[in-house]
Structure 1
């Protein structure tokens, strides 16, 4: 739709205005007419087009003046000098006598504030959809990254906390925006261009531009500008509006747009930036906007990476008692061909739970993407690691702090997972769905993930979360009873669930085959025969309760992920219940094999220390028989002393940075 602007003309003085190509000036001729006017005629220069409504002329060739007589004015080309185009309206009385001429002098300019609205990595000129956002492969609207990495390596902080640009490389994290203008060397006196944002937008964005005049710079100055990093902030948290230079002729002025915050409960991710042409109204009066061009950005959400994406780097802690574990992880990672990052004890200060402290994800735009670590509010002894060792150039950081300072075990990120891509009842989730654990809906004193983190996760939109019941566990993390592994068929993955029923089936099968005296935990103080384990009625009751809890989650996962029973594999794992004052919660009875690390087709599985039959652990044999047909290879890692006894396993003590998805989040149909 063509942008229109109303204009008043006057028979007592010449009216001067600036016209923006592509718009339309409307003049109410009756309102501007001298008293007793009955008709009018129009004369204009070659660059000015006019149209009158109603269009009918009388016999003398004049337009009859009616209460609804409107003049529409457009122009085809920009002016060479200010006020070089003219139009005049002559008014006539009842006897066709002239009552006066209203003269209009016009300066035509071309103004376009441009962004990459079609998301192809190029800032195209005057895209008709640049002022709105639409999801989907046929959608439109520019994409903005939160500038949450750090170009510095000393006294690090995220770049968005700095209102200056310290390194030219920082510009890569920003989205380009171009002001394209064409017209005379200078605007008419008193006219100016202003960029402005709303107060509600100001906390979410900054816009920078080169300080020097791009048109008049010599090549030497341009190089100096590049190396001096001489950029100024135009608008942002402390500046809602600022004049920007009109360079004259056919020129482009480049801006760099910086995202400051992720979508959240109070921010839908949409940002509007406006460029207005202001017209002087006379001494002592403020200028008025006569043309505004608006562009819209959507901030990239934070996106988690599922186990089915390619690993890049494995993170694990070194502690005073996990040497053997660390060696096994190192061998597995080297065999898989990935990079290993070890957090040593001077940094982790004995906190070995790498999975609980952080979650890896990424942000993505057509021009750039980089990983972003989400730091949990648990703030254990590992709390400095994400900033000191991960945050850096092209590696971002984000966190959410519980405002009341109250966090529970459910705020650790073993309680935050994401599914592979799924389709549910015809609705596609090509980036998967986030999974968190909470208290049972009917619980009155249950633990929950803190609200600010939940709100952050829901606000990202592109991986619609699923809430499972995990408060029945002593630690309370979803990774204690579920994980995903890649598969060559069906949905290209399998959901692995811990299953006490599957565990008892293995042990009863051993007993039936005459292996009742074979021992769990052989050689350890916890050693127990299969017969004695099966005779423990209390343990059976506890596992019946655990199976009920897992089955409740199984139903939810099948519904929310569109799974059939064939998409789920039950791993034989038993639990025991720890008694507390107000409630009882479960922990794994032996190392929890579902709590594994997934590196492509290589799985690092907690060694269960099951009964040995024919020289091999019966539990390992069972798990291999379930997973190896999928092309997966199991490496069983001894985590008993340094992790299992501390109520965690391999997955709890490790973390994996993975490649981003090839699917572009803005192509989602929402």
Structure 2
């Protein structure tokens, strides 16, 4: 239904008003009628469409009825089809009559000026601003949804700048403008009408700290772009140009969706009528557009790798070389974080998580910096943040625990669960339930992840581990069949089964950790006879089984979607579990190439039986297994290959706005 505005008339003097294209004016015919008038006649110039609403019927004029009774509920509606060329160039005349009189007892004249005022965005999500018949004031999800999208301008396009692009109120480069979404104000009609009217672009007070708006007038010079809305600036008066019908505004997001912010932001343009001096202006028309701030999106192991990260620290040259060789196989660039920047902190998986933001006109990667803040804490800002590479962080004011490291933050590939689609997968985080009083992920981090809406998080139980990260017992690898992936779970029971097989085949005296200096070398027989170790691994298996059931429900998995990777753990219930030998699920996945921690299992026929079993599980899926020695450089420090590497991956082909959360 068109916006409608009531207009008072007078038989004493002519009335002048503005009609905005696409709206209706409701004329108060009864309010201006002379005392003894009982009927009226209405006529207008050709540019005015007139309707009489009488007894709930709407009749288009001219009609066969010449005079209309002045009854309660009778109204005259008018609309106009095209902007006026001159002020007051269209008019409507209403004549009032007594009961039987042929001569009017009064006349009301209305002079009309039609103007076009329209605020437009890329509501159709095509990548360009266009006029639309869609409801611009609403935002809807799904393939048939509508509503514009805004990126948080969290990169740094000017390398000399000290802050993120959205932390200042200046435009430093044309690249900065390209990260923003356009909002176009169109005005047509006689320019002199705007001397008695004012156009106001404004934002709600509650949204003002979430956005910034820049305007350069008719200029393309960067220095002409001024910050006109956002922060403490709630309104901006637009002066329509004599020569241009369009004013282009550039909008940037300042904040991601989070607690208390759904991500929706509204802008309005209001046409104000300036009455005589000393009186306040009155609004006569408002147009509203709505943007949604694009969420931060994680990418799963199954996404194609674009860049591999690893830290160079004392005595890990062989590990870095092995990761480099894997990156080369997949033609993926390798970024080595040097000692000066990592300050002996090798756990790059724990410091950051790579994701991206996307709008129809632009996509760029965004690194999420964890609250852990150890030796690598400056690396994301100093070395990753840059042109078209954004940055976001959340702090843990209550103090960060190990569960705030991003080895404890993973995402599944796309899944469908009982008919509900998760086309961008589901985030997986570790927590302390079903026990009370254990470690949990910081509230600020968890709230942020939930607020993004598009990868609904699932909480798993990871506090049984000494370090407490989900990547210590699960991973995903690509597969050519079924759902396109397999979930790998660490499995003590699969390991005991394998060792029992080898014992029965006569290899009970084969030892673990062959070739490693100063490491005790238990035999298969000794491991199987160690009751304390077996009891502890039964407990570990029960913890993993709990997670297996959650994952099957939350990701819609069947048993055939899961592979059990043989693994033993050591420790006790008080201090938590650690891998007994290098934890093979904690692997680096680069397409079809897997970099797996070398387990140093018992040699059977000259081959490590643990490696052989893992190859037998994974190679039929078309995967290539490379076993990387991380024993002294990572394993003895309570981490493995995945903990010591990180990967920026290709964004999903699926557009997040096509889903329905």
Contact in 1 for aligned 2:592/2:623 (Cα 8 Å): yes
Pairing partner for 1:78 from 76, 83, 88 = 83
Q: d(CA) in 1 for partners of 2:268 and 2:417?
A: 40
1:130, CA displacement in angstroms? 2.0
Q: 1:403-442: per-residue Cα shift (whole Å, max 9, x none)?
A: 33x110000000000000111111111111100000123x
Contact in 2 for aligned 1:185/1:249 (Cα 8 Å): no
Deviates more, 1:80-89 or 1:605-614: 80-89
Q: d(CA) in 1 for partners of 2:242 and 2:187?
A: 7
Tell me: CA distance 1:599–1:293, structure 2 relative to 1, closer, same or farther (3 Å).
same
Aligned positions of 1:390-405 closer than 5 A: 390-404=384-398
1:578, CA displacement in angstroms? 4.2
Q: 2:606 matched to which residue of 1?
A: 615
Pairing partner for 2:197 from 191, 195, 199 = 191
Contact in 2 for aligned 1:117/1:127 (Cα 8 Å): no
Q: 1:99 matched to which residue of 2?
A: 105
Q: d(CA) in 1 for partners of 2:497 and 2:131?
A: 67
Q: 2:587 matched to which residue of 1?
A: 596
Pairing partner for 2:92 from 81, 87, 90 = 87
Tell me: CA distance 1:107–1:589, structure 2 relative to 1, closer, same or farther (3 Å).
same
Q: 1:299-339: per-residue Cα shift (whole Å, max 9, x none)?
A: 11110000111000000100012111111111111122100
Q: d(CA) in 2 for partners of 1:519 and 1:229?
A: 72
Q: 1:219 matched to which residue of 2?
A: none
Q: 2:38 matched to which residue of 1?
A: 38
1:585 aligns with 2:576: yes
1:271 aligns with 2:265: yes
Mind listing any 5+ residue stretches in structure 1 that lack a counterpart? 215-221
Contact in 1 for aligned 2:123/2:132 (Cα 8 Å): no
Contact in 2 for aligned 1:148/1:159 (Cα 8 Å): yes
Q: 1:26-67: per-residue Cα shift (whole Å, max 9, x none)?
A: 012111223222222223222122122227999994322122
1:178, CA displacement in angstroms? 1.1
Q: 2:157 matched to which residue of 1?
A: 151
Mind listing any 5+ residue stretches in structure 2 that lack a counterpart? none
Pairing partner for 2:146 from 140, 160, 164 = 140
Q: 2:70 matched to which residue of 1?
A: 65
Q: 2:117 matched to which residue of 1?
A: 111
Q: d(CA) in 2 for partners of 1:503 and 1:396?
A: 43
1:14, CA displacement in angstroms? 2.1
Tell me: CA distance 1:425–1:10, structure 2 relative to 1, closer, same or farther (3 Å).
same
Pairing partner for 2:629 from 623, 638, 647 = 638
Tell me: CA distance 1:662–1:264, structure 2 relative to 1, closer, same or farther (3 Å).
same
Q: 1:65-108: per-residue Cα shift (whole Å, max 9, x none)?
A: 12222111111221111122222222234453543322211111
Superposition TM-score, scaled by structure 2 size: 0.96
Q: 1:471-530: per-residue Cα shift (whole Å, max 9, x none)?
A: 000000000000000000111100000000011112111211111111101233222111
Q: 1:101-125: per-residue Cα shift (whole Å, max 9, x none)?
A: 2221111111211111111112111
SS of the equivalent of 1:25 reads: strand
Pairing partner for 1:411 from 381, 387, 404 = 404
SS of the equivalent of 2:177 reads: helix
Aligned positions of 1:481-630 closer than 5 A: 481-523=473-515, 524=517, 525-578=519-572, 583-630=574-621
1:439 aligns with 2:432: yes
Tell me: CA distance 1:487–1:284, structure 2 relative to 1, closer, same or farther (3 Å).
same
1:425 aligns with 2:418: yes
SS of the equivalent of 2:193 reads: coil
How many residues are matched? Answer: 653
Q: d(CA) in 1 for partners of 2:526 and 2:131?
A: 77
Q: d(CA) in 1 for partners of 2:194 and 2:633?
A: 76
SS of the equivalent of 2:105 reads: strand
Pairing partner for 2:352 from 328, 338, 358 = 358
Contact in 1 for aligned 2:15/2:109 (Cα 8 Å): yes
Q: 1:653 matched to which residue of 2?
A: 644
Q: d(CA) in 2 for partners of 1:508 and 1:61?
A: 103
Pairing partner for 2:306 from 312, 321, 329 = 312
Q: d(CA) in 1 for partners of 2:194 and 2:529?
A: 96
Contact in 2 for aligned 1:462/1:665 (Cα 8 Å): yes
Contact in 1 for aligned 2:598/2:628 (Cα 8 Å): yes
Q: 2:245 matched to which residue of 1?
A: 251
Q: 1:284 matched to which residue of 2?
A: 278
Q: d(CA) in 2 for partners of 1:61 and 1:578?
A: 96
Q: d(CA) in 1 for partners of 2:45 and 2:63?
A: 23
SS of the equivalent of 1:6 reads: strand
Q: d(CA) in 2 for partners of 1:9 and 1:393?
A: 59
Contact in 2 for aligned 1:474/1:578 (Cα 8 Å): no
Contact in 2 for aligned 1:80/1:183 (Cα 8 Å): yes
SS of the equivalent of 1:201 reads: helix
Contact in 2 for aligned 1:425/1:562 (Cα 8 Å): yes
Pairing partner for 1:369 from 349, 363, 369 = 363
**Which structure 1 residue ranges, 4+ long, deviate > 4 Å from structure 2?**
55-60
1:201, CA displacement in angstroms? 0.9
Q: 1:248-294: per-residue Cα shift (whole Å, max 9, x none)?
A: 47721111111111111111111111111111132222212111111
Q: d(CA) in 2 for partners of 1:578 and 1:408?
A: 20
Q: 2:180 matched to which residue of 1?
A: 174
Q: 1:218 matched to which residue of 2?
A: none
Q: 1:10-33: per-residue Cα shift (whole Å, max 9, x none)?
A: 122221111111110001211122
Contact in 2 for aligned 1:378/1:408 (Cα 8 Å): yes
Superposition TM-score, scaled by structure 1 size: 0.95
1:230 aligns with 2:250: no
